[in-house]
Structures are given as structure tokens and as C-alpha cells.
């Protein structure tokens, strides 16, 4: 692991360590994986415009999010079934989050319970898939709040799963010995994200969730300005521009390309986050310049978890933070909060 210098180096390490079906589940996306490539290619096409002879002795990456000060703008995205990647699963990932001062967004489909994850002392948000049985969601929200979860991310881009051909070819199935403590009360077969039953949630459910929650609700998986406007109309307290790591509808645009129209409609009224394809410090700056307050990484930290447990997760975040610091210095933009379109060529 110590030879890993950038985030993509961790992918090869994870590939060596993981069983084939687990690696393909993690690395794969939907359909022909076109959006998966675009998520990266769109960042790569953006050309930077550096300014020189700016005092960059003090670089400041702090930001305010829901009344809290974060040391840096990198969060860990919800990634299901982390015992596939490490024997201690989400608990180990959360230790990595603590070590790297990052907010950890726990997936509903985790293999560890929210209370166990909380015991690591990690700052947590919880991702939700609303179940057809509303009481299950109500219970989970209450458990999450009792465990100290600070925000909820309702995933809105998954009424069904996309065509995950790659994981199917590798015969991916969750090993029966891995439990999903937030879902076992419903019975896994009734969980749409596992069984791929349709799970139509609508804007009414957003209002319902907001009405039972005492913590902010963000919507994860918005790609259009129109849906961003509806999200605000229905009381969302934050938006995550995401295409689910290209795992659902193939040929939707790269998230960095969708960000501008969402940012325009949101106009700073609520925090805006982005995930999908973030691999370099320059990507984080580009997302900021197009209007994101913060970003999330998904596969990269899971590769780190597979490669080296909590230390691997912390290395991944640490490398990205270091790259962000050097990017800001080299751009002549010492404050992350000040990064704007002037950094584009
Ligand atoms: C293996 C895997 C599992 C995921 N599980 C979930 C999930 O349970 N809930 C969710 O909202 N998003 C899930 N996602 C999507 C991530 O939260 C995130 O949107 C995506 O991974 C970001 O793109 P990146 O992997 O390019 O960083 C998952 C992604 C991966 C790769």
C-alpha cells in the first residue's frame, strides 16, 4: 500500500486482494459503462488557468456545512456491503474516516449496524432508501438520530437498479453470512435495492421524511435544474449531484457536467455536493468552481479499505487532501471557499 501514490493506484491493490465477484461489484457500473468513463473524462477535459505570485503560505480548505466546520471538503459516500471489502466492514471504514477527519455517509445497506459504527466516534450521515414499509424507515431514522447521525441523504436515483451486467457476469451475490442490520427486519427479499422490485418514492415522501426527521435531509442523485428546484420546493436542505457512480442509468451525463445547471437553480440556497469520478485534487477544485460546496468519494475509499483497512481509507483521503492543497497553491487560490470559474482556462 505504501507504494500507492494516487487514488487510482488503490484500485489495482484492491483487485489483487478481493475476490473477483466483490471487485467487480465495486468497480463495475451499469450498461456499457459509458457514464462511468464520462464521469472521469469530463473532469479531464477541463483546463485550468493558474495565477502566479500570490501569497499561498496559508492554504485554507475549511468550510461550513449544516452549522459545522469541516477541515476539508471530502466526504465518504455511501457504499453498500463493506464486509465484502474488509472483515470489519463499515466499522473499519469509519475508523478511517475518524483518522482523516472526514464525514462518513453510512449506506442503508451496510453490513454493520449504525450503533456499532457510531462507537468509533466517526461523524456520520446516513443514506436512506425509503422502504415501501414506512415504519421501517421511521425506526431507522429514530435509531440514526439516537446514534448521533447528523444528516440524512435520501437516495432518489434508484427506483430500480440499473443493468449491472459486469457484476452479474461475475455472479455477484451477497454471501448469506453477511447481514444487513438496517434491513433484516424487512426481510432482504422485500428490499428493492436487493431484489430489484420497483420502489416508487415521490416528492410526497420527501416531505414525509422531512416531517419525521430532526436532522437535515439531503437528496442524493439529482442531475437536473428542474429537479433541484423541486427539491427546494419540497424542503430539501441539501442536494447531492450524483449519478450513483454510473451504476444506474447509463448515458446520463457526467456529474461535473450536470453540476452547473443545478448550481444555477440552487443559487446558494442550500449546500450542494457532488460525487462521481473524483480522483484528483484538481477534480475537487473543478467541482468547487462549478458550484459544489463539497464532494464525496465512493469507490476510491472502498479500494483503500480493501487494500489496508482504516489506514488505507485514511491514506486515500490524505492523498486527495494533499493534492487539493497543492492544487490551490499552484492555482494561486489559497482559500478553497474562494475557488470560482476564474480557475478555468
Ligand atoms: C459498490 C458501490 C456501492 C454503492 N452503494 C450505494 C448505496 O448503498 N447507496 C447510495 O446512495 N449510493 C451507493 N453507491 C454510490 C456512491 O454513493 C457514489 O454515488 C459513487 O460511488 C460516487 O462515484 P465514485 O465511485 O466514482 O467516487 C455505491 C457505489 C458503489 C461503487
Q: Which residues are catalytic?
A: 244
* DSSP symbol at 344: B
pTM of the predicted model as reported, rounded to 2 decimal places? 0.97
- Contact indicator for 318, 8 with CB cutoff of 8 Å: no
pLDDT digits (tens, 9 = 90+) for 269-322: 999 999 999 999 999 999 999 999 999 999 999 999 999 999 999 999 999 999
Please tell me the predicted confidence (pLDDT) of residue 134: 87
* Ligand 1 mean position, distance from CA 246 (Å): 9
Atom of ligand 1 nearest to the CA of 220: 11
Please tell me the predicted confidence (pLDDT) of residue 133: 81
Residue with the three cell numbers 502566479: 52
Q: Who contacts 231 (Cβ-Cβ below 8 Å, separation ≥6)?
A: 206, 219, 222, 239
Residue 198 has pLDDT above 90, yes or no: no
Three-state DSSP state, 104: strand
- Contact indicator for 217, 237 with CB cutoff of 8 Å: yes
Q: How confident is the model at residue 186 (pLDDT cuts 50, 70, 90)?
A: low
Parallel, antiparallel or unpaired: strands 124-128 and 104-106: parallel
pLDDT digits (tens, 9 = 90+) for 50-70: 999 999 999 999 999 999 999
* Ligand 1 mean position, distance from CA 14 (Å): 16
Atom of ligand 1 nearest to the CA of 105: 17
Percent of residues in the chain assigned helix, strand, coil, to nearest 5? 45, 10, 45
| Residue 37, H or E segment | helix 34-45
Three-state DSSP state, 155: strand
- Whose alpha carbon is nearest atom 30 of ligand 1? 79
Instruction: Give me the percent of the chain exceeding a pLDDT of 70.
Output: 96
pLDDT digits (tens, 9 = 90+) for 61-98: 999 999 999 999 999 999 999 999 999 999 999 999 99
If one residue of 174, 244, 296 were mutated to test the ligand 1 pocket, choosing by the most ligand atoms within 8 A of its CB, it would be: 244
Domain 9-343: give its CATH code: 3.20.20.70
If one residue of 298, 301, 305, 306 were mutated to test the ligand 1 pocket, choosing by the most ligand atoms within 8 A of its CB, it would be: 298
How far from each other are the two terminal CA atoms of the chain, in whole angstroms? Answer: 35
* Ligand 1 mean position, distance from CA 126 (Å): 13
* Ligand 1 mean position, distance from CA 53 (Å): 40
- Contact indicator for 137, 117 with CB cutoff of 8 Å: no
Domain boundaries, the chain: 9-343
Atom of ligand 1 nearest to the CA of 29: 31
- Kindly list the protein residues whose Cβ atom lies closer than 6 A to any atom of ligand 1: 25-26, 39, 77-80, 107, 109, 127, 155, 220, 242, 244-245, 247, 275-278, 297-300
* Ligand 1 mean position, distance from CA 135 (Å): 25
Amino acid at each position: 500500500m505504501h507504494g500507492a501514490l494516487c487514488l487510482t493506484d488503490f484500485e489495482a491493490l484492491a483487485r489483487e486482494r478481493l475476490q473477483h465477484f466483490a471487485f467487480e461489484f465495486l468497480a463495475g457500473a451499469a450498461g456499457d459503462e459509458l457514464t462511468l468513463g464520462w464521469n472521469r473524462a469530463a473532469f479531464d477535459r477541463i483546463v485550468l488557468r493558474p495565477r502566479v505570485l500570490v501569497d499561498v503560505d496559508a492554504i485554507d480548505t475549511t468550510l461550513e456545512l449544516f452549522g459545522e466546520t469541516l477541515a476539508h471538503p471530502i466526504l465518504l459516500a455511501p457504499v453498500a456491503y463493506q464486509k465484502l471489502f474488509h472483515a470489519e466492514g463499515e466499522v473499519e471504514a469509519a475508523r478511517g474516516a475518524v483518522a482523516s477527519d472526514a464525514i462518513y455517509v453510512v449506506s442503508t445497506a451496510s453490513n454493520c449496524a449504525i450503533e456499532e459504527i457510531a462507537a468509533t466516534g466517526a461523524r456520520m450521515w446516513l443514506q436512506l432508501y425509503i422502504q415501501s414499509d414506512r415504519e421501517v424507515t421511521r425506526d431507522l431514522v429514530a435509531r440514526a438520530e439516537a446514534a448521533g447521525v447528523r444528516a440524512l441523504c435520501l437516495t432518489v436515483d434508484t427506483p430500480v437498479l440499473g443493468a449491472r451486467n459486469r457484476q452479474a457476469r461475475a455472479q455477484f451475490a451477497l454471501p448469506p453470512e453477511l447481514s444487513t442490520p438496517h434491513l433484516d427486519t424487512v426481510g432482504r427479499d422485500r428490499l428493492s435495492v436487493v431484489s430489484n422490485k420497483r420502489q416508487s418514492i415521490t416528492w410526497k415522501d420527501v416531505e414525509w421524511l422531512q416531517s419525521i426527521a430532526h436532522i437535515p435531509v439531503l437528496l442524493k442523485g439529482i442531475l437536473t435544474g428542474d429537479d433541484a428546484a423541486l427539491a427546494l420546493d419540497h424542503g430539501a436542505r441539501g442536494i447531492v449531484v450524483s449519478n450513483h457512480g454510473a451504476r444506474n442509468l447509463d448515458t446520463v451525463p457526467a456529474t461535473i457536467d450536470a453540476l452547473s445547471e443545478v448550481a444555477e437553480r440552487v443559487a446558494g440556497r442550500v449546500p450542494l455536493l457532488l460525487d462521481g469520478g473524483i480522483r484528483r485534487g484538481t477534480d475537487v477544485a473543478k467541482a468547487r468552481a462549478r458550484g459544489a460546496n463539497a464532494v464525496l468519494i465512493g469507490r476510491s475509499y472502498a479500494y483503500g479499505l480493501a487494500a489496508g483497512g482504516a489506514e488505507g481509507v485514511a491514506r486515500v483521503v490524505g492523498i486527495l487532501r494533499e493534492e487539493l492543497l497543492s492544487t490551490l497553491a499552484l492555482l494561486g487560490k489559497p482559500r478553497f471557499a474562494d475557488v470560482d470559474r476564474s480557475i478555468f482556462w
